[in-house]
Amino acid sequence: MTFSSKDLRTFLSTYKIVALLLIIAVIWTFFGVLTYDADLGGSQFLTARNFSNLLRQMAITGMLASAMVFVIVAGEIDLSVGSLLGLLGGIAAVLDVLYHWPLAGTIAVVILLGITVGTFVGWLTAYQGIPSFIVTLGGMLVFRGAVLGLTGGITVAPASEELKYIGQGYLPGFMGNGLAVALFLLLAVLAFRTRAGREKHGLPVSSIPMEIARLVAIGGVILGFVLTLNSYQGVPVPVLILLVILGVFTVIGDKTVFGRRIYAVGSNLEATRLSGVDVNLVKMMVFAMMGLMCALAGLTTTARLAAGTPSAGSGGELDAIASCFIGGTSMRGGIGTVIGALVGALIMASLDNGMSMLGVETFWQQIVKGVILVLAVWMDIVSSGNTR
Amino acid sequence: MADYLLEMRGITKEFNGVKAIDGIDLVVRPGECVGLCGENGAGKSTLMKVLSAVYPPGSWSGTILWEGKELHARNIRDTEEAGIVIIHQELMMVPHLSVAENIFLGSEPTTRAGFVDYDAMNARASELMKQLKMPDINVALPVMAYSGGKQQLIEIAKALNKNAKLLILDEPTSALTAAETETLLTLVKEFKARGMACVYISHKLDEVAAIADTVTVIRDGTHVATRPMAELDTNEIITMMVGREMKNLFPREAHEIGEVIFAAKNVTVWDTTNTERKLVDDVSFELRRGEILGVAGLVGAGRTELASHLFGCWKGRHQGAILLDGEEVRVHAPRDAVRQGISMVPEDRKRHGIVPLMGVGHNITMSVLKRFTRRGLIDAEDEMAAIQGEIRRMRIKTAQPLLPIASLSGGNQQKAVVAKMLMPNPRVLILDEPTRGVDVGAKYEIYKLIFELAKQGVAVLMISSELPEVLGISDRVLVMGEGRLRGDFPNTGLSQEKILAAALGKQDQVAA
């Protein structure tokens, strides 16, 4: 008994993501059963339509969480992202609704502003030595104040059709399929190139059948994902953006010098500095990335609501931070993955969505989400054997 | 009454199926001092963690008898109640609390109203300080006001206050000056006379020889021998520790010394907290191609601060020119130094050397990661090939190249840190206490590497507090004392006494 539970523990701590997917499976089964309705011919939770909704709901939190995970891995925190999202979304709305700027111009300006503000926050933290908790707590108030001043406290509407597409549009079915095929081919090519590289250096490789089995499994997941979404209206644009971010950020985290340094800085700042790494620059760039994600999330929020509202993004920072922690990011820095954070966001979104569907009152929803957050981190600590 | 105070028999502890210690015996008689010797990774710490119930009963096998009865301790509190107190290598002090508060941490005396009884606490603490021959310590001051050596002794006061019957000292002198070490050893002898037993764990075999009655040697997790110290000498202990004859502790190799390639001019470094105090005071020296320059001095002589200035990592005020090939170079940050061809292996491995959560391999490639990128992406296979090459070359013992570095023994961690700082192919290598907390085998390999580098023309600046090491390795020796350069001797006919005299500023008497 003890032997098998120990084995399970090692397995789960090595493949954290499996544990998280198991949690999602449990949550989905739970809501799937509870929303079963014989008259409507099946479970209301487990439909293509709801799956699409769920993904769209998590997209904005997911964008913030993708960059937040790097901020936390680097040993910092950013409390200002909800407000910055609101401010940048508000600016997008003003440019679009009041000044009728072309979409490309709006996007360019908002993204540039996001990166600039993020870089400034990072500079204050990394080069001026103000703790990020303080800088971003201040930023949270400043940005929220600014968006209130900018919009005069009222909703700026209606957004242009082009902008709305970012938040509400769907990819046509054939494009979704095309992208899926392209993604699969890319992954297959990469897998075999990695293999060739490892063989060249005489490093161990897995057997050909194993490799093929792995690719078939990946292909199955991609196919299932796209077909499900296509059976409703297609891949939602915000979900596509989020998937691109997931891909790019995972590559940044795993494959680039910058990514490696983020983890090093979070694990031991001084040792990293003494290895000849410009640690301040690394930190500042992490905040710049966070700013960029606030811009994308702000644009998506405005597009989805078809309006700029003064309260957009309120509490977004807490959802993003919670997603990271549920997804296995360590509070102490040095550990965390983008995919983990996104699965964390999916767990939160599933709870929101399922409970709303069941008509659970809002106050209960908050209580349940809070409990789940603490529970998830507790399970993570227990499974990695880090209890005191 | 049993013969033994403590009797540990057949202790075996596994981690994930790997036996860290396998059937070890350790026995201590009342009033006896047992020296516990073994290389890093031999299992000393594991054994002590079993004894102090850091690993609870059930997670290991074997028996522990304490005063003839089986010891049922579930945590450190239980073992301390029984009278077993461990003083760890790293100080366990709360720096902002006062000396007295630290001594009484967890057992604060209270008044009847339930408040902390500071008068009783300070009085008792002062009394303990007198017992430890440190009557001038103000027990109401925060602990951080005192040096590492004093803090170590305060740690011992804490143990005394707990009425320890068995005191376990784990590398207690690794941060102490010679004088402080002397005080500590005298104290241990006094405790012994009073009937307190102790287990003394140290790599410094001279200390073990000075105070131990019995020596237990373990190697690779197994018990090698337990013999009276009177029958042994330090060479025999070394032989038992490494399992082979260590004929030559310092594998000297001839190497050519070339022209001056590096020079420091008028380096002065000020304290970060007390900004008027000079830690390094106007030090200048030159370093030649292929030369091994030892820097000796007592702890607090300013050697690490000097190295920090040269590597661009001193946080306070500092000035002084750094010249490479006769030209002044700007070194404002470690990355400038690395770019110019200056590398440093820092003194404090845990805080400044390793990135604990990352793999050994990724630690090694940290400073030259850009070398393995293609179109902005790291070529993992290229990197792995380089990592495996380094692991082989440095003989780093690790199960996998990407195992977290924190899970390796101290010696292997150190080898990885050295490998990391050699990756940029430095022309000047600064080693700050390169063999601190490193076992004999790894030490030997590090020495060999130093000579290998000197042969290749690397200029090596080695700071070390172990005088035999300084004498055994260096071509030339700088001696520092109180921030000043107090001697610059070619290493011919140099003795430990002469270096010490210079460090203490008594050079003239020796010269005369």
Helix/strand/coil (H, E, C) string of B223-241? EEEEEEHHHCCHHHHHHHH
**Do residue B384 and residue A203 have CB atoms under 8 angstroms apart?**
yes
**Do residue B381 and residue A197 have CB atoms under 8 angstroms apart?**
yes
Q: How far is B507 from chain A (nearest CA, A)?
A: 36
On whether both B60 and B153 belong to a single domain, the answer is yes
Answer whether residue B178 is part of any domain: yes
Answer whether residue B139 is part of any domain: yes
On whether both B214 and B331 belong to a single domain, the answer is no
CA–CA distance, B66 with B75 (Å, rounded to integer): 15
Tokens standing for A238?
């915000």
- pLDDT band (50, 70, 90) for residue B1: very low
Percent of chain B residues topping a pLDDT of 70: 95
- Domain containing residue B81: 6-242
- pLDDT band (50, 70, 90) for residue B370: very high
**Do residue A273 and residue B334 have CB atoms under 8 angstroms apart?**
yes
pLDDT at B510 over 60: no
The confidence score (pLDDT) of residue B80 equals: 86
Q: Does B399 touch chain A (CB under 8 A)?
A: no
Of A318, A317, A298, nearest in space to A156 by CA: A298
Contacts of B356 in chain A (CB under 8 A): 267-268, 334
Domains (ranges, CATH) in chain A? 45-169+238-383 (1.10.3470), 170-235 (no CATH)
Q: Does B333 touch chain A (CB under 8 A)?
A: yes
Q: What is the pLDDT of residues A158-185, one digit of tens each?
A: 999 999 999 999 999 899 999 999 999 9
On whether both B274 and B235 belong to a single domain, the answer is no
pLDDT at B228 over 50: yes
On whether both B158 and B294 belong to a single domain, the answer is no
The confidence score (pLDDT) of residue A14 equals: 65
The residue among B185, B214, B242 that closes a domain is: B242
Contacts of A194 in chain B (CB under 8 A): 380-381
CA–CA distance, B368 with B383 (Å, rounded to integer): 10
- pLDDT band (50, 70, 90) for residue A21: confident
**Secondary structure percentages of chain B, helix, strand, coil, to 5:** 35, 25, 35
CA–CA distance, A266 with A330 (Å, rounded to integer): 10
Contacts of B313 in chain A (CB under 8 A): 273-274
On whether both B37 and B178 belong to a single domain, the answer is yes
Residue B466's contacts (CB-CB under 8 Å, 6 or more residues apart) are B435
Cβ distance B25 to B226 under 8 Å? yes
On whether both B156 and B267 belong to a single domain, the answer is no
The confidence score (pLDDT) of residue B411 equals: 87
Q: Does B313 touch chain A (CB under 8 A)?
A: yes
Q: Residue B507 belongs to what H/E stretch? A: helix B507-511
- pLDDT band (50, 70, 90) for residue A42: confident
On whether both B138 and B11 belong to a single domain, the answer is yes
Residue B503, burial from CB neighbour count under 10 angstroms (0-12, 13-18, 19+): buried
CB atoms within 10 A of CB A198: 17
CA–CA distance, B463 with B468 (Å, rounded to integer): 13
The confidence score (pLDDT) of residue B506 equals: 66
The residue among B213, B242, B271 that closes a domain is: B242
Tokens standing for B415?
């080898």
Query: Which has the higher per-residue pLDDT, B499 or B387?
Result: B387
Residue of B nearest to A273 (CA): B334
- pLDDT band (50, 70, 90) for residue A113: very high
SS (H, E, C) A51-110: HHHHHHHHHHHHHHHHHHHHHHHCCCCCCCHHHHHHHHHHHHHHHHHHCCCCHHHHHHHH
Question: Which of A 350-369 lie inside 8 A of B, CB atoms?
Answer: none
Q: Does B367 touch chain A (CB under 8 A)?
A: yes
Tokens standing for B220?
């690779």
Phi and psi at B229, nearest 5°, equal -60, -30
Answer whether residue B400 is part of any domain: no
- Across the A:B interface, residue pairs with CB atoms under 8 Å apart total 93
Answer whether residue B120 is part of any domain: yes
For the segment A32-46, the average pLDDT, to the nearest whole number, is 85
Write the DSSP symbol of residue B368: G
**Do residue B384 and residue A201 have CB atoms under 8 angstroms apart?**
yes
Structural domains of chain B, count? 2
Give the three-class secondary structure for B82: helix
Phi and psi at A42, nearest 5°, equal 140, -175
The confidence score (pLDDT) of residue B17 equals: 65
Answer whether residue B389 is part of any domain: no
For the segment A358-387, the average pLDDT, to the nearest whole number, is 82
CATH number at residue B279: 3.40.50.300
Query: Which has the higher per-residue pLDDT, B182 or A64?
Result: A64
Phi and psi at B96, nearest 5°, equal -85, -10
For the segment A1-6, the average pLDDT, to the nearest whole number, is 52
Among A199-208, A368-377, B138-147, B201-210, which stretch is predicted with the lowest mean pLDDT?
A199-208
For the segment A245-269, the average pLDDT, to the nearest whole number, is 95
The confidence score (pLDDT) of residue B511 equals: 42
Answer whether residue B417 is part of any domain: no
Task: Name the amino acid, one letter, at B260.
Answer: V
On whether both B265 and B228 belong to a single domain, the answer is no
On whether both B139 and B270 belong to a single domain, the answer is no
Task: Name the amino acid, one letter, at B223.
Answer: H
On whether both B119 and B267 belong to a single domain, the answer is no
pLDDT at A211 over 50: yes
Cα torsion B332, B337, B339, B345: sign: negative
Average pLDDT, chain A: 90
Q: Does A278 touch chain B (CB under 8 A)?
A: yes
Cβ distance A353 to A360 under 8 Å? no
pLDDT at A2 over 60: no
**Do residue B358 and residue A267 have CB atoms under 8 angstroms apart?**
yes
The residue among B242, B275, B308 that closes a domain is: B242
Query: Which has the higher per-residue pLDDT, B508 or B435?
Result: B435
Residue A239, burial from CB neighbour count under 10 angstroms (0-12, 13-18, 19+): buried
Of B241, B220, B196, B155, nearest in space to B28 by CA: B196
Answer whether residue B391 is part of any domain: no
The confidence score (pLDDT) of residue B477 equals: 95
Give the three-class secondary structure for B365: coil
Classify each residue of B407-422 as buried b or exposed e, where b means 16 or more C-beta atoms within 10 Å of its C-beta: ebbbbbbbbbbbbbbb
For the segment B417-427, the average pLDDT, to the nearest whole number, is 96
**Do residue B381 and residue A264 have CB atoms under 8 angstroms apart?**
no
Cβ distance A120 to A348 under 8 Å? no
Nearest Cβ partner for B357 among A194, A203, A267: A267
Query: Which has the higher per-residue pLDDT, B204 or B387?
Result: B387
- pLDDT band (50, 70, 90) for residue A289: very high
For the segment B166-188, the average pLDDT, to the nearest whole number, is 82
The confidence score (pLDDT) of residue B479 equals: 94
E strands present in B433-503: 459-463, 476-481, 484-490
- pLDDT band (50, 70, 90) for residue B151: confident
Q: Residue B250 belongs to what H/E stretch? A: none
Query: Which has the higher per-residue pLDDT, B508 or A311?
Result: A311
Answer whether residue B100 is part of any domain: yes
On whether both B310 and B168 belong to a single domain, the answer is no
pLDDT at B235 over 50: yes
pLDDT at B248 over 80: no
pLDDT at A1 over 50: no
Contacts of B361 in chain A (CB under 8 A): none
pLDDT at B11 over 70: yes
Tokens standing for A314?
């309120």
Cβ distance B459 to B262 under 8 Å? yes
Q: Does B351 touch chain A (CB under 8 A)?
A: yes
pLDDT at B244 over 70: no
Among A248-252, B14-18, B64-68, which stretch is predicted with the lowest mean pLDDT?
B14-18
Q: How far apart are the first and last CA of chain B?
A: 60
Tokens standing for B64?
């522990």
CA–CA distance, B229 with B214 (Å, rounded to integer): 5
Question: Which of A 151-210 lie inside 8 A of B, CB atoms?
Answer: 194, 197-198, 200-201, 203
- pLDDT band (50, 70, 90) for residue A388: very low
Dihedral angle over CA of B406, B411, B412, B416, nearest 10: 90
Question: Where would I find the H helices in chain A?
Answer: 2-14, 16-34, 48-73, 81-93, 103-126, 132-151, 161-168, 173-200, 208-230, 237-255, 257-267, 269-274, 279-305, 316-326, 338-357, 362-383
- pLDDT band (50, 70, 90) for residue B373: very high
Q: Does A386 touch chain B (CB under 8 A)?
A: no
Give the three-class secondary structure for B475: coil
ipTM, 2 decimals? 0.85
On whether both B65 and B170 belong to a single domain, the answer is yes
- pLDDT band (50, 70, 90) for residue B452: very high
Average pLDDT, chain B: 88
CA–CA distance, A334 with B357 (Å, rounded to integer): 7
Phi and psi at A2, nearest 5°, equal -60, -35
**Do residue A275 and residue B344 have CB atoms under 8 angstroms apart?**
no
Of A10, A16, A81, nearest in space to A336 by CA: A16
Cβ distance A49 to A230 under 8 Å? no
Is it true that the peptide bond before A158 is cis, omega within 30 degrees of 0? yes
Q: Does B422 touch chain A (CB under 8 A)?
A: no
For the segment B259-281, the average pLDDT, to the nearest whole number, is 89
Nearest Cβ partner for A335 among B334, B353, B357: B357
Cβ distance A255 to A266 under 8 Å? no
Task: Name the amino acid, one letter, at B299.
Answer: V
Tokens standing for B312?
């661009």
Residue B291's contacts (CB-CB under 8 Å, 6 or more residues apart) are B257, B258, B454, B459, B460, B475, B476
Contacts of B421 in chain A (CB under 8 A): 275
